[in-house]
Structure 1
């Protein structure tokens, strides 16, 4: 593929290639502020060549909008132009390689508005929410053979969503994308393109495939890729680990711990029955939940709740 430098607003929407005067300092002035919204950038790809080796979705996420002709695109921030895309190109990587001083590429605040991955509230899991409490609607859709985010089906497209992945994150984007995850743009939160399962708070040594199987064992993408036996082994390992964890406690201690875990943390009387979205904590009863705007455990803003039934 080939790229050209930045240019002035006067040449938009049919810019003429020109090299930037100075590549030594970051560019902070938006070339096309009308395109700082990823959804608006994505709309410009309606005439994008169908046989192009990269998708308009991945290009828009990487900061580009379509200017044409052919497969010519331009960055809304630095004005850099790229064209002649070939199979194997990753838009975010090519953006960084050709225009390393671009403020968008460098992760500075340039006003970019990412396209939300969810049609409603962001739903993340931090290890507190058990796999059996996944949203029924998501399960039904995943089991019906339909991806929640079909535009993220290609691994290359998922990888391009990690363009601003934290540099100090414990897990590499390539490994997460391979396991079906794409970046939400917040912290180290990721979501599976197929089942919508969310994970965060990654630690060194975490295996994305294993975590996928641990928390979202019904994901059809996971089952097709890793196999039913792999998922069954992970689930069995989790059950065995849970038995060992409680092995050192007496029956009375285990009962007291269970009662505490199932008691509302606000009124300290009624049993817990609601799971908060997006944090996933199960800590209050149905009567106390309406009076709360933030989770009493992690202080995350409450955007919704799911009823949990204890067996």
Structure 2
């Protein structure tokens, strides 16, 4: 994995670049790529198979049209030389931890409209990618939730909305440290209990 901080165009080692994005005002590096669909469309000539355009676009990247180099629409940080096992979100966070998109404190991003399709969330890795803006104050780790079949679809006011395939779940953080995930389905209630950040299990109340 190679990366560079704008404006340099050649790959640099991690020891040669300091992430200074936290010292920049929260302006968008490339406003024309704030829409996830536009970023996805930029990958029309992408040929790399070890990482998909959808994963890269979801992580805030668009294709620069040369080799496998991509750039973040918010901080302008560039990544290239992708290797098997690399994940777009984790590499973005690792190389540019102060990026406003990575930190989740920007509203510029326009994600793909509509509910994420069930088929696209069958794989745990795909579900985990949706937790890029998961609030760190929540004592339940994204990998625990993804393993249990959940994927994150954003937040509304103080409630954190999560989807579990056909279920719409709402996460409540209680003062006693116990997290209860409650979701309503067609013929019953699903409750997933987390104690001290550890997923305890899923209980179903069927009709």
- Report TM bin, short chain: 0.7 to 0.9
Query: Deviation of residue 42 (structure 1)?
Result: 1.6
Q: Which residue of 2 is the match for residue 17 of structure 1?
A: 10
Larger Rg over CA atoms: 1
TM-score scaled by structure 1? 0.51
Q: Does the C-alpha gap of structure 1 residues 69 and 212 become closer, same or farther in structure 2, counting only changes over 3 Å? A: farther
Q: Is 1:190 aligned to residue 162 of structure 2? A: yes
TM-score scaled by structure 2? 0.73
Query: Deviation of residue 29 (structure 1)?
Result: 2.5
Query: Deviation of residue 201 (structure 1)?
Result: 2.1
Query: 1:40 aligns to what SS in structure 2?
Result: helix
Q: Which residue of 2 is the match for residue 55 of structure 1?
A: 52
Q: Which residue of 2 is the match for residue 273 of structure 1?
A: none
Tell me the distance in 2 between the aligned counterparts of 1:153 and 1:47.
27
Q: Is 1:87 aligned to residue 84 of structure 2? A: yes
Tell me the distance in 2 between the aligned counterparts of 1:102 and 1:177.
24
Query: 2:155 aligns to what SS in structure 1?
Result: coil
Tell me the distance in 1 between the aligned counterparts of 2:58 and 2:108.
14
Residues 279-307 of structure 1: CA deviation (Å, up to 9, x unaligned): xxxxxxxxxxxxxxxxxxxxxxxxxxxxx
RMSD: 3.4
Q: Does the C-alpha gap of structure 1 residues 100 and 78 become closer, same or farther in structure 2, counting only changes over 3 Å? A: same
Number of aligned positions between the proteins: 185
- 1:166 is matched with which residue: 113, 135, 139? 135
Q: Please, which runs of 5 or more residues in structure 1 have no aligned partner? A: 8-14, 120-147, 217-229, 240-310
Query: Deviation of residue 58 (structure 1)?
Result: 1.8
Tell me the distance in 1 between the aligned counterparts of 2:119 and 2:25.
34
Relative to its length, the structure with more helix (as a share) is 1
